[in-house]
A and B are shown apart, each in its own frame.
Chain A
Amino acid sequence: MIPLSALVLAPMLLACGDKGHDTAGDTGDTLEANIILTDANNFSYVGDIDIPSFTTASATDIEVCWTKMTEDLQCHELDPVEDIDNIGLVRFPHLSETEVEEALSANSLQQADISGYVEWNTNHNQTCIRLSEFSFFGTTIDITAEYTEEGGTYMLMFAEGLEPGVGARNLVFLNPDSSSDVTRVDVGSGCGLLDFSADIHSLTPVSAPADGPWVVDWSGITSDGLGSPIALEDIDEVMLAFYEGKTPTELEASFLDLELIATELYSIPLEGGSKADLSEATGSSGDFTGFKAGGTWIFALKCSTCYNPAPLFLTVMESQ
């Protein structure tokens, strides 16, 4: 498959968001931190993804339809016509479907794991397309040579946005099999594929002064929420959110919707560094001016280019 394709398979298979930033928020590096984060402050979670697999004919043009795909991986509503901008097909030559799922969950996929990528930019009119229409930089897929049972594991990504590999709303495997005569795949809802359980009530909350400054330093964090070594250089956004009347335990049940249900939501885009000044956080309701009582404050360090949508770090902040 796929001249000039795997070149730009961007790493964000699951996460949503804009990779580019016009502003850097790491000006906190010049300030003395008064809020020091440690591993004890971090949340923990377990998460698995169970991607459905469709067995189809091998070396045969397959029609892919997503008319019934009305919810995404996070069980958010989805308009299959309007909300899907790009469909990408990735081939993993040496990984099984289970291994791809495990690697997605563990954030451990490498470029060498794939051997091809083609895509189709939707026209927002139709919800069915043949693989033969997929291409990359004008190079189409040679179905008979590139879509075969010997080729490895094939995964379709239905994405919002046009950047390859970024903003996936749903995932399915295609399994070419020479004994199959299936030539059409109907992709359904993505809801239920993610089995995600977060614990944010057992962590040690972080104390923050009621009034500023709020310069946060996370250089001492060593593990992410999975307990894996954290890649601090991947952090590209600070999220600060307030949930009025909610406890941490109550928020766990809505973990995948934390950004949607926040009473107040602020963020700081980062280009690097390990400090941030929360007085620079801004949101739709204005600039962050201080911690208020009557609910739960969540501070998170996010990676928009990681395939796993979970924040690398998330904690509860309490006003002193």
Chain B
Amino acid sequence: MIASGAILAALLGGCGDKGTGVSVLDTTATVSDDIATVITVDWTTDVDAAGYVRYRTDEGAWQTPVDAGGTTHQAVLLGLPPDTDVELQVVARQDGVDVATGELLQVSTGALPSDLPGMTVEGDGATDYMLTPLIGAVTGPVIIDPQGRVVWYHEDTRGLDIYRARILPDGSGVIYAAASVSGDPAADSALVVVPWDGSSETTIPVPLLAHDFVFLPDGTITAIAVEYGEGPEGEVRGDRLVDIAPDGTLTDIWTSWDCFDPAEQPGDDPELGWTWVNALDYDEAEDAYYVGIRNFSSIMKLDRATGECEWVVGDEAATIDIEGQRFIHQHQFEIAGRRLLVFDNEGLGGTRSRVMEYDLDVDAGVATETWSYEPDPSIYSFVLGDVHRYDDGDTLVTWSVAGQIDRVTSAGVPNWTLNTELGYAFGFNSLYDDLYVGR
């Protein structure tokens, strides 16, 4: 979201035609019946014009993206805390110039549902909105602002697991995977699309979905799903990557058997499954996936165009060795250039999780430990967990099962910590500095 306080403050008092012949008419602002922190603004203009909405609270001012133009308009105000007074004003624009303003409206967001968990925050180091599934008595995606407040939410009641949610590339809402990872996979798993105002759910059936999915530049989604196949002693539970095209067409693009052999690389947790792929990232520049394989304690690079398994770093099936401490049963990770950052669920042993960082030298075939972080007292997230490195060197750590998110400095000092009340965990964490994706 773009803070534009000075501009807004200067213009909020204005109203009406500025002598350009454009009038903003019939402005209404409606708090969503389904999400009390979302306000939908509708207006018309008497002639074709583009438009946007400026809005402010006691904490700052923002604006929606400029729309495509026309005479009928709608914008959704995002990022607002609950129980907050909001001033808003429509601005009409022609040829890149603001030409008219609508009336100044005042509206208040509503209260959060009582079954959302309370959250506490220490520190002020957070900068991003965090879109993460809540898992617990209430399950569904929420967006948490840097102050630790829920500013968007949607409860999913289908009884499946939700571990990843993302903002749609067109900025129209949120998509999440409703799957089953605990126990048997679900035949009725699906990707679920929810518009910002929460007024509907659109499901895209994808059987046997697992933990994670990514968007490709053309809007295709690649998701992890379970695949059963032949093992040395009968059927084993492996994984596949499936493309979901924008038209909903499903295409399997990879399976565990394409790169590995269950007889040669059996994994270390056969009761759970064979490979147990649990995390997926996409590198647009490389047109490659990075695939986290829990039961190998390894991460693989997969070329999307060729299907080639380029390298594996970690333990089982590794082509790149670790120098330093290994990660075990990792979940989400981040690869940026030569830096490999990993949420290491069990490398410390016992009930302690940590973050590991490596210098990844693919040519030399070695990943050298460069940094690690273990909180004191220790925190254990036996599943899930996520990491992100900021440009300033801070690291955001999502201790999923512990319901805690930390931003820590390179010296390992937390400068922001968020905790949920007992009974709620987080899924993977998708970060956004602006909720208006694609602005």
Contacts and interface: CB of A to CB of B under 8 A. Distances in A.
Contacts of A248: none
Given A93-B380, A112-B379, A137-B182, A10 B137 contact: yes
Interface residues of B, number: 37
A10 B351 CA distance: 21
Nearest to B182: A137
A114 B111 CA distance: 29
Most buried by B among A13, A93, A303: A93
Given A6-B425, A93-B377, A111-B420, A273 B110 contact: yes
Interface string A225-238: 00000011111100
Interface string A122-145: 000000000000000110000000
B367 interface: no
B89 interface: no
Interface of chain A, main secondary structure? loop
B403 A305 contact: no
Contact of A112 (B115, B116, B182, B402): B402
Interface of chain B, main secondary structure? loop
B135 interface: yes
A10 B423 contact: yes
Interface string B88-121: 0000000000000000000000111111111010
A8 interface: yes
A111 B423 contact: yes
Most buried by B among A13, A163, A305: A305
B196 interface: no
A10 B136 contact: yes
Contacts of A29: 110
Contacts of B421: 11, 109-111
Nearest to A269: B114
Contacts, number: 123
A253 to B, nearest CB: 30
A232 B113 CA distance: 10
Most buried by A among B182, B377, B421: B421
A94 interface: yes
Interface in A18-45: 19, 26, 29
A7 B425 contact: yes
A233 B419 contact: no
A113 interface: yes
Nearest to B382: A3
Nearest to A306: B421
Most buried by B among A1, A6, A29, A137: A6
B382 to A, nearest CB: 5
Interface string A1-17: 11110111111110000
B118 A19 contact: no
Most buried by A among B120, B383, B421, B423: B423
A233 B422 contact: no
B36 interface: yes
Interface residues of A, number: 46
B399 interface: yes
Given A116-B351, A272-B36, A272-B110, A111 B425 contact: yes
Interface in B366-415: 377-380, 382-383, 399, 401-404
Nearest to B424: A111
A231 B117 CA distance: 10
Contacts of B424: 11, 111
A166 B136 CA distance: 12
Contact of A137 (B110, B183, B422): B183
A7 B36 CA distance: 26
Given A8-B137, A10-B136, A10-B137, A114 B113 contact: no
A11 B111 contact: no
A244 B404 CA distance: 48
A7 B401 contact: yes
Most buried by A among B36, B113, B379: B113
Nearest to B36: A272
Given A4-B182, A234-B114, A272-B114, A165 B423 contact: yes
Most buried by B among A109, A112, A166, A236: A112
A71 B379 CA distance: 36
A113 B402 CA distance: 7
Contact of A94 (B116, B377, B382): B377
Given A4-B182, A19-B137, A110 B422 contact: yes
28 contacts: A4-B382, A4-B383, A6-B382, A6-B402, A9-B422, A10-B137, A11-B117, A11-B137, A12-B423, A19-B115, A109-B422, A110-B120, A110-B422, A111-B404, A115-B380, A116-B351, A116-B380, A138-B182, A150-B350, A163-B137, A231-B118, A233-B111, A234-B114, A235-B114, A271-B115, A272-B113, A272-B114, A303-B114
Interface of B: 36, 82, 110-118, 120, 135-137, 182-183, 350-351, 377-380, 382-383, 399, 401-404, 419-425
